Structure 1
Amino acid sequence: MFPEHTPRPPAVRAAEVHHPVPLTPAVPAPAPLVAVQPDTVPAVASVVLPDGRVVTGYAITPAHPDPATVKPAVSRTAVNVAVGGVGFLAVCGGLLMLTAFITALTALITQLIVLAAVVFGGFVAVQVFTGKGHKAGTTVNIRRAVIKRNHFHS
């Protein structure tokens, strides 16, 4: 073989090790602290840890939230929804009563119309089917009729 075409052993490189770097979250800059002179100097407390170390510092009282920022037990939205539901049920009951009233009124009007038809029809039937010999009205007896020039002469 040719010397320029001989394979070379691969170059040995040092292994690169990458260590993960934790990302710190973007936190807004803290508000500047204003030095406030306390009314009394707080007491210094010392705590002995189980391994024998002593930690000394000021006792911190827990912060109590303002009474105005305490959230109510029930949200206003839930109260509004509940009140709206009660109002809707009241309206539905009223609409149901109104529907029943309209139905009853329609039935009454229908019965009155049927009653009027029966009474009027009975009156007409009595007038038609009565067998009286003399009826009210004018009786005309025609004995001899003479018709001249499209005129009736009696």
Structure 2
Amino acid sequence: MNEPTAYGRPTGHETAAVEVHTPTPIVPARTAPLMPVQPDTVPTVATIVLPDGRVVTGYAIEPAQPEPLAAKPAVSRAVVNIALGGVGFLAVCGGLLMLTAFITALTALITQLVILAAVIFGGWIAVQVFGVRGHCGGTTVNIRKAVIKRNKFYG
């Protein structure tokens, strides 16, 4: 009955061996002794008598001083923003001037092209109207003595 099983444990009601662990104590770290620091000046002790007759004695505590406000800059932010806006506007104006100059030049070019086309086309029309006509083609009939008898033409 106490024979080991396939897993190496004996069968039966035997108790297993108890293993006891004892913790190791932690040794506290040694610190240097604290030396009291004497203030530069000894604060004054204040005594206050309350309305009900009790007397309170203690050191006077100075109220906490608020941190000083940051010094105002010599130039306000609004002025800086306006100046930066002016610089941006000037940068844009340069581009607008270039754009205006380009549009003006383009308008002048188109005007000159229209005038040139009118001169050339007008000259061609004038040559057609007032030019010397040569033989225009077709049949030329010279009538010297026309005789018309009974609605018949004898030439």
Shared fold by TM > 0.5?
no
Structure (1 or 2) with the larger CA radius of gyration: 2
Which interval holds the TM-score relative to the shorter structure? 0.3 to 0.5
**TM-score scaled to structure 1, two decimals?**
0.45
More helix by share: 1
**TM-score scaled to structure 2, two decimals?**
0.44
